[in-house]
Amino acid sequence: MGKACLKWTMLGSLALIFAGCATYPDPATTRQMAEKMVSEDFTAPAPALLKRLVQDKSQQICSKIGDAKLTQEEAAEVVKLARASIQYPASGKLVGNWKIGDNLAHDGAGDRIQGGRLEKRKENGGLCQNCHALAPGEINVGNVGPSLTGYGLQRGNSEAIAKLTYERIYNAWAYSPCSNMPRLGATRHLTPEQVTHMVAYLLDPASPINKR
Amino acid sequence: MNIARRTFLKLTGGAGALAAACAAGLVSSGRVLAANWNKAGFESKALADVMKSLGANGAIESKDIIITAPDIAENGAVVPVAITSKLPNTQQISIVAEKNPFPLAATFDVSGGGEGYVSARIKMGQTSDVWAVVKADGKYFTARKEVKVTVGGCG
Amino acid sequence: MAEPMKIRATLQGDVADVRILMLHPMETGQRKDSKGQVVPMHFIQSVVVTHNGKIVLDTQWSQAVARNPFLGLRVKGAKAGDKIGVTWVDNKGDKRTDEVTVTPAS
Amino acid sequence: MPTTRGGVAAILLACLAVWVAAPALAQSDDPLGVGRKMLAEDNPGELWIEQGKTLFYQKRGPKNASLEQCDFGMGPGKLEGAAARLPRYFPDTDKVQDLESRLLTCMVQLQGFDRADIVKRAISPGGSNGSDVEALALYITFRSNGMTVNVSLSHQKEYDTYKAGEYLFYRRSGQTDFACVQCHGEANKRIRLQDLIHMTDKKGVQEVVSTWPAYRGAHFVVRTMQWRLYDCFWQMRLPELKYASDASIALITYLHYQGNGAVITVPGFKR
């Protein structure tokens, strides 16, 4: 459509007849219009909740349109921001309780807004089941992300693996900039404590995820 | 809208809610009973009692009964079940979800030009065998198929 | 007042494939509404299907039949133009009757 | 993104139930397919078409008028094929409008209904008899059944809206870092057991734009495209998308233009 319109423009005099011949707006104009919509077209029970719509630097970089690729510089910046975001639990212990982690992994609720109300939960669910295969034989699991079945069996449960796993859950973009995986710790969806339980769920040999 | 969501929760919020839904008591005042409604059967809590109420004790398994239902039902509140009986002179077909609190879901009396085929949708509280109980030529036959119930809206 | 059913009766050879959709809450008597009140049991107990006035299927249902129920059946010895009638009655005594004619397969 | 629901206890129960049972997934190639097909073949959504028709031709509202003078872009009262060309620019409102926002305009202007009041009821409670807007949207779209989606961009505002919609489709925010494309940018993906439609693929997006309004099995009512978007943002943990807002229209314009060529078949059937 846009191209056809340009051809008309090239026909010179005709362009005068179709003065202001419609075409796609430039990216800056699009951005301005769309951001105005974002600021006007959503409601929340508290102004603080509306801030969820505001993008941080990394989210801006990661919102590539269509097939546009991340540049090396952009990827490096996202990784840098991600690394800086990672906080560790006060206890210093990165491996928590796998049973709690199991529950969290199968809990997809928490923090949703509906009918002018924020979903009331003591804590948010870990959302894992939505996108990842978990224990062997589980049916009701998604596949947007890679399978986590046997995660600990494949990697062992060394301190280095525990740290890597913790960091990947806390802020996946430290390793895979702009991947689909939410930065669960960095966005404050989960607490550092909750992340340690999920680390245990993934690594503990007794965890159902590591059952053969 | 929050009403929508909450109502929904109570409709199909999870296995627990569904089980409760299926566990509906049959004690209610002022209801009009259809004349031939199999009260004893619909109030039975065990498969054996359902069979008894149908007069189907000692029914034998038959390969001439085909149950069409999903291996996995996405939504326990709407599980499609179709039953085809190739038994000659099929007179009655019942659908029984064994692990429902009240297993007997429906009974269909076939007569005249009715074929040995019915299709319906039932509520299931949990993964269970679904039984077809068929009366043909005065005798009772059964078939069964397991339907796994996942709650699509889980989490 | 009960809403009309949607009935399809299509001829396949000499068999009419009959598919019936009904609008009904099929309340189990266990569900609570948004105000926490138990919604009274309300379900279709009986559906009778006739072919040119003659009963071909007489059903008894419990509240375990799903909301907005579906019933499918086949009627032998049918021809185009035959009448298929359906009547349901629920536990409150509400009833609804609709009728369609059998149409040739398209 | 398909939705997830349930109280905590219910969720845990349900998950545990599934997990304890833990049977092998592959009894047949598509263990869910049989049920999906059986349900879709006889779609209770059809029960709402007549209701929508009645609402359309009935004299209603403070002005006691029908919707017969409503112009969905093909002229007053002309419904055949109208939904297939929406969203589009309307000079009288000087806006690009989708089916539902246009319907609102008519219900307010012709029938005298209060806009805020309709919006409040537009999305009905699950397990109810549905809302007027849901039935009307279904009936109006149903009048384009068998026709091809053919959204055009010619007015400047149509170009602008389309591009804004594209931008929003890819715009990540919130604590899940989600934009639409995180769930709808690849083939054969699922959230738990629910298939995610691949919307950056022509066939996928065509399935989206040709099957709404749809009967939502788990809600027992007809749902519309506006609901579909609203529910996605809910699940993404973002604030609530305003019904018939510019942002919603932009996303719908983007998707429908991408889906041009799809044959409308409503009501759809969704799990």
Provide the pLDDT for residue B35.
Answer: 63
Which chain D residues are within 8 Å of B151, Cβ to Cβ?
Answer: 6, 10, 14, 17-18
How large is the average pLDDT for residues D136-153?
98
Q: Answer whether C23 sits within 8 Å of D220, measured CB to CB.
A: no
CA C66 to chain centre: 12
CATH number of the domain bearing residue D93? 1.10.760.10
How large is the average pLDDT for residues C80-105?
95
Q: How many CB atoms lie within 10 A of CB A74?
A: 17
How large is the average pLDDT for residues B131-146?
97
Shortest Cα distance, chain B CAs vs residue D190, angstroms: 12
Q: Is B40 on the interface with C (CB under 8 A)?
A: no
Shortest Cα distance, chain C CAs vs residue D37, angstroms: 14
Which C residues, 26 through 85, put their C-beta within 8 Å of a C-beta on chain D?
A: 31, 34, 67-68, 70, 72
- A127 pLDDT exceeds 90? yes
Residues B9 and B69 in one domain: no
Provide the pLDDT for residue B74.
Answer: 85
ipTM score of the complex? Answer: 0.86
Tokens at residue D130, please?
Answer: 């549905």
Q: Is A74 on the interface with B (CB under 8 A)?
A: no
Shortest Cα distance, chain B CAs vs residue C44, angstroms: 10
Catalytic residue among D70, D180, D183, D232: D232
Tokens at residue D135, please?
Answer: 């039935």
Which residue in A114, A124, A127 has the most chain B C-beta atoms within 10 A of its own C-beta, making it the best mutation to test that interface? A114
Q: Write the pLDDT tens digit of every residue in B22-52.
A: 444 333 333 444 567 999 999 999 999 999 9
Which residue in D220, D221, D222, D223 has the most chain C C-beta atoms within 10 A of its own C-beta, making it the best mutation to test that interface? D220
- Reduce the secondary structure of chain D to three states and give it as a string: CCCCECCHHHHHHHHHHHHHHCCCCCCCCCCCHHHHHHHHHCCHHHHHHHHHHHHHHCCECCCCECCCCCECCCCECCCCCCHHHCCEEECCCCEEECHHHHHHHHHHHCCCCCHHHHHHHHCCCCCCCCCHHHHHHHHHHHCCCCCECCCCCCCHHHHHHHHHHHHHHCCCECCCCECHHHHHCCCCEEECCEEECCCCCHHHHHHHHHCCCEEECCCCEEECHHHHHHHHHHHCCCCEECCCCHHHHHHHHHHHHHCCCCECCCCEEEC
Amino acid at B64: D
Q: What is the distance between the alpha carbons of residues C16 and C13, in angstroms, rounded to a whole number?
A: 8
How large is the average pLDDT for residues D212-217?
96
Q: Is B99 on the interface with D (CB under 8 A)?
A: no
How large is the average pLDDT for residues A91-120?
96
pLDDT band for position B113 (cuts 50, 70, 90): confident
Amino acid at A115: G
Listed by start position, the domains of chain C span: 6-28+39-101
- D30 pLDDT exceeds 90? no
Nearest chain D residue to B12, by CA: D218
Q: Write the pLDDT tens digit of every residue in C1-43.
A: 578 899 999 999 999 999 999 999 999 888 887 788 999 999 9
Which residue in D8, D25, D39 has the most chain B C-beta atoms within 10 A of its own C-beta, making it the best mutation to test that interface? D39
Q: Strand, coil or helix: what is C11?
A: strand
Q: Strand, coil or helix: what is C38?
A: strand
Which of C6, C31, C72 has the CB atom closest to D46's CB atom?
Answer: C6
DSSP β-bridge partners for residue B108: B93, C59
Provide the pLDDT for residue B100.
Answer: 93
- A13 pLDDT exceeds 90? no
Nearest chain B residue to A116, by CA: B2
How large is the average pLDDT for residues D93-115?
98
CATH number of the domain bearing residue B74? 2.60.40.2470
Rounded to a whole number of angstroms, the distance between the first and last alpha carbons of chain C is 33
- DSSP classification of residue A186: T
Q: What percent of chain B has pLDDT over 70?
A: 74
Size of interface A-D (CB pairs under 8 A): 192
Average pLDDT, chain A: 92
Among the ranges given (A37-46, B4-13, D44-53), the one the predictor scored with the smallest mean pLDDT: B4-13
Among residues A144, A112, A143, A138, the alpha carbon closest in space to that of A201 is found at A138
Q: Answer whether A59 sits within 8 Å of D172, measured CB to CB.
A: yes
Q: Answer whether C3 sits within 8 Å of D125, measured CB to CB.
A: no
Average pLDDT, chain B: 81
Residues B16 and B51 in one domain: no
Shortest Cα distance, chain D CAs vs residue A100, angstroms: 12
Provide the pLDDT for residue A212.
Answer: 85
Half-sphere exposure of D265 (CA within 13 A, CB side): 12
Taking a C-beta distance cutoff of 8 angstroms, is the pair B67, B130 a contact?
A: yes
Give chain B's contact residues with A (Cβ, < 8 Å).
1-5, 72, 148, 150-151, 154-155
Average pLDDT, chain D: 90
pLDDT band for position D27 (cuts 50, 70, 90): very low
Taking a C-beta distance cutoff of 8 angstroms, is the pair D82, D71 a contact?
A: no
pLDDT band for position A171 (cuts 50, 70, 90): very high
Q: Answer whether B153 sits within 8 Å of D27, measured CB to CB.
A: no
Provide the pLDDT for residue B34.
Answer: 54
Provide the pLDDT for residue B152.
Answer: 38
Which of D24, D159, D190 has the CB atom closest to A143's CB atom?
Answer: D190
Which of B4, B72, B155 has the CB atom closest to A109's CB atom?
Answer: B155
Taking a C-beta distance cutoff of 8 angstroms, is the pair C87, C96 a contact?
A: yes
Provide the pLDDT for residue B36.
Answer: 79
Nearest chain D residue to C23, by CA: D47
B neighbours by CB contacts (3+ pairs under 8 Å): A, C, D
Q: What is the distance between the alpha carbons of residues A76 and D130, in angstroms, rounded to a whole number?
A: 51
DSSP β-bridge partners for residue B80: B121
- B9 pLDDT exceeds 70? no
Residue numbers of the domain that contains B50: 45-151
Class of domain C6-28+39-101: mainly beta
Cα dihedral across residues A178, A182, A184, A188: positive or negative = positive
Q: Answer whether C72 sits within 8 Å of D50, measured CB to CB.
A: no
pLDDT band for position D244 (cuts 50, 70, 90): very high
Q: Strand, coil or helix: what is C101?
A: strand
Quick check: pTM over 0.95? no
Provide the pLDDT for residue A15.
Answer: 44
Phi-psi group of C77: left, alpha or beta (phi > 0 → left; psi -120 to 50 → alpha; rest → beta)? left
Number of H helices, E strands in chain C: 0, 7
Tokens at residue A166, please?
Answer: 């913790």
Q: What is the distance between the alpha carbons of residues A211 and A209, in angstroms, rounded to a whole number?
A: 6
Q: Answer whether D42 sits within 8 Å of C23, measured CB to CB.
A: no
Q: Answer whether B155 sits within 8 Å of A127, measured CB to CB.
A: yes
Q: Answer whether B154 sits within 8 Å of A108, measured CB to CB.
A: yes
Which residue in D42, D43, D51 has the most chain C C-beta atoms within 10 A of its own C-beta, making it the best mutation to test that interface? D42
Q: What is the distance between the alpha carbons of residues D215 and C4, in angstroms, rounded to a whole number?
A: 17
Nearest chain B residue to A126, by CA: B155
How large is the average pLDDT for residues A77-96?
97
Which of B3, B5, B72 has the CB atom closest to A139's CB atom?
Answer: B72
**CATH number corresponding to A42-210:** 1.10.760.10
- Reduce the secondary structure of chain B to three states and give it as a string: CHHHHHHHHHHHCCHHHHHHHHCCCCCCCCCCCCCCCCHHHHHCCCHHHHHHHHCCCCCEECCCEEEECCCEECCCCCEEEEEEECCCCEEEEEEEECCCCCCEEEEEEECCCEEEEEEEEECCCCCEEEEEEEEECCEEEEEEEEEEECCCCEC
Q: How many domains does chain B have?
A: 2
Q: Is B125 on the interface with D (CB under 8 A)?
A: no
Q: Is D191 on the interface with B (CB under 8 A)?
A: no
D232 is catalytic: yes
Q: Is D17 on the interface with B (CB under 8 A)?
A: yes
A neighbours by CB contacts (3+ pairs under 8 Å): B, D
Which of D18, D177, D238 has the CB atom closest to A140's CB atom?
Answer: D18
Listed by start position, the domains of chain A span: 1-40, 42-210
Which of A1, A33, A181 has the CB atom closest to D160's CB atom?
Answer: A33
Q: Answer whether A115 sits within 8 Å of B72, measured CB to CB.
A: no
Residue numbers of the domain that contains D34: 27-270
Which of A115, A117, A129 has the CB atom closest to B155's CB atom?
Answer: A129
Q: Write the pLDDT tens digit of every residue in D63-80.
A: 999 999 999 999 999 999
Which residue in D39, D47, D215 has the most chain C C-beta atoms within 10 A of its own C-beta, making it the best mutation to test that interface? D47
Which of D172, D193, D247 has the CB atom closest to A63's CB atom?
Answer: D172
Q: Is residue D242 packed enough to be buried (19+ CB in 10 Å), middle (13-18) or exposed (0-12)?
A: middle
Which chain B residues are within 8 Å of C49, Cβ to Cβ?
Answer: 114
Q: What is the distance between the alpha carbons of residues A40 and A43, in angstroms, rounded to a whole number?
A: 8
